[in-house]
């Protein structure tokens, strides 16, 4: 990381720790935990600052700066932001399992077919031979 960017990040962190409103640097969680009275998912963007344990959270990497190469995406269900699509999807599966997501439905169908295919390949081969004689008359 270039020195200039490191310096800027350091200044922003100091400002955030003082509770000053910093923009645009944004912070996200590195793991799920509760922050400012809300459960945060992994990779969730948070408004960082003004909490008594902020320095510890930053120091222990619970919270980090959003990287320049990350493109945050917003959840259509609750409006939360996530640093990557992977984290957004993980959040969606957990927080809004009822929301109908066409890509997830398709994925589900593919998995079902795959499972079915596996089951069929495990079954013993069907022996095809002459039909057994069926007696309908009583002796």
Q: Rule CB under 5 A: which residues touch Zn ion?
A: 75, 77-78, 80, 95
C-beta of 40: minimal distance to Zn ion in Å?
Answer: 11
Provide the minimum distance between the beta carbon of 103 and Zn ion in the complex, in angstroms, as a whole number: 16
SS3 123: coil
Q: Of 42 and 58, which has the nearer Cβ to Zn ion?
A: 42
3-class secondary-structure state, position 96: coil
CB of 22 to Zn ion, least distance (A): 24
User: Is the peptide bond prior to 123 cis by the omega test (within 30 degrees of 0)?
Assistant: no
Sign of CA dihedral 21, 41, 44, 95: negative
Cβ nearer to Zn ion, comparing 13 with 44: 44
Task: Confirm if 82 and 72 have CB atoms less than 8 A apart.
Answer: yes
How far apart are CB 112 and Zn ion at their closest, in Å?
26
CB nearer to Zn ion: give 78 or 106: 78
Contact 83, 45 (CB under 8 A): yes
Nearer to Zn ion, 59 or 77 (CB): 77
Residue 123 CB, shortest distance to Zn ion, in Å, is 42
Instruction: Please say which residue, 98 or 119, places its beta carbon nearer to Zn ion.
Output: 98
Beta strands in the chain, from DSSP E residues, in sequence order: 27-29, 33-35, 38-40, 45-46, 63-65, 73-74, 81-82
């Amino acid at each position: 990381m270039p020195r200039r960017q490191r310096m800027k990040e350091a200044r922003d962190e100091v400002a955030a720790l003082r509770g000053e409103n910093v923009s645009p640097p944004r912070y996200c969680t590195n793991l799920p935990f509760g922050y400012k009275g809300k459960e945060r998912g992994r990779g969730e963007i948070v408004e960082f600052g003004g909490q008594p344990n902020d320095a510890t959270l930053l120091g222990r990497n619970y919270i980090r700066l959003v990287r320049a190469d990350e493109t945050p995406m917003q959840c259509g269900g609750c409006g939360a932001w996530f640093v990557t699509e992977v984290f957004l999807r993980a959040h969606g599966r957990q927080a809004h399992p009822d929301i109908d997501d066409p890509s997830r439905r398709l994925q589900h169908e593919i998995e079902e077919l795959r499972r079915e295919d596996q089951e069929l390949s495990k079954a013993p081969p069907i022996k095809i031979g002459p039909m057994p004689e069926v007696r309908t008359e009583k002796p």
